[in-house]
Structure 1
Amino acid sequence: MISGDRNQMRQVFFEAWRKHQAGEAMEPLEKMISSVITQHPEYHAMLNDRERFLVQEFHAEGGESNPFLHMAMHISLLEQISTDRPLGISELYRDLCRRSGETHTVEHQLMECLGRMLWEAQSANRMPDEQAYLDCIKAL
């Protein structure tokens, strides 16, 4: 799924959703993607309009959020949790889910920490600080 080509990455989302709706067999990553999409009904119409949204620009400065980035962050987070990388994130996630009872909300909270860590790393032109990321999650 990692690619520098935005349209190629978006195609993965469109194809996973198409397969999900058609009841076709899917690879594990496609299953994860379709699971994330299922949790976001606000994106279903968009994912049914490949031609338009494959090239759609989303401008944060105009108040638009990028649904592909949002879903990709969910997937990144789920991958981190499944591999426990950074070390300890799985336990923190499970603890927050137990306390909250709402996994999707917890994922959004962790995504805020993830986004902050990535923004800080990019702004400082350095590697992401995993300890700062975990500290942010612990503070939730």
Structure 2
Amino acid sequence: MFGNDRDAMRRYYCQSWQKFQLKHPLDALEQQIAQVVAEHPEYHHLLTNDERAVQHTYQPEQGQTNPFLHMGLHLGIREQAATNRPVGILALYQHLTHKFGTLEAEHHMMECLAESLWLAQRNNTAPDEIKYLECLKKL
């Protein structure tokens, strides 16, 4: 939707959260974003300052978590479960959410997803769905 436009994507998160707080109507994606943001109160202050949120560079080597990446991984996992793509992930998602609760299960799953995406980027290949599912099964 945003291509490589990081700033536009970050602004969309901020706008979705602001619309939610103002009780304005939300489209489907805005609703999903607002739900994930609501589940992460540690990010609320960030999303009320559009320019700070848009411009900040997060440094993992300095122990900083990128909240947009974090929330985006939640959205990705939820979309995967909703579409059962890769095939079999819905059953794993249901098992893990029953075992850990939704948010904690997704946090565990995000590690597997992030590793799968990182390896695909590093190797310039498509993500390996089989290895991804195997990682999830170990949880």
Range into which the TM-score falls when normalised by the shorter chain: over 0.9
Cα drift, residue 105 of structure 1 = 0.2
- Tell me the CA shift for residue 2 of structure 1: 3.7
Q: 1:74 maps to which residue?
A: 74
Unpaired runs of at least 5, structure 1: none
Alpha-carbon separation, structure 2, partners of 1:76 and 1:2: 15
In structure 2, what is the equivalent of residue 103 of structure 1? 102
In the TM superposition, residue 95 of structure 1 has moved relative to its aligned partner by 1.0
In 1, distance between residues paired with 2:3 and 2:22? 26
Give the gaps of 5 or more residues in structure 2. none
- In 2, Cα distance between the equivalents of 1:50 and 1:11? 6
CA distance in 2, matches of 1:56, 1:38: 21
Query: How many equivalent residue pairs?
Result: 139
RMSD of equivalent CA atoms: 0.9
Tell whether the 8 Å contact from 2:92 to 2:136 is kept in structure 1 after alignment. Answer: yes
Is the contact between residue 33 and residue 75 of structure 2 (CA under 8 Å) also seen in structure 1?
Answer: yes
Quote the offset at 1:51 in angstroms: 2.0
SS in 2 for 1:54: helix
Percent of residue pairs bearing the same amino acid type: 42
Deviation of 1:52 (Å):
1.5
Deviation at 1:99, TM superposition (A): 2.2
- Give the SS at the match of 1:4: coil
Letter in 1 for 2:32: M
Amino acid at match of 2:72: A
Amino acid at match of 2:113: L
Counterpart for residue 93 of structure 1:
93
Amino acid at match of 1:127: A
Q: Does 105-114 or 122-131 show the bigger shift?
A: 122-131
TM-score by length of 2: 0.96
Cα 1:81–1:2 shift into 2, 3 Å: farther
Equivalent runs, 1:19-30 vs 2, <5 Å: 19-30=19-30
Q: TM-score under structure 1 normalisation?
A: 0.96
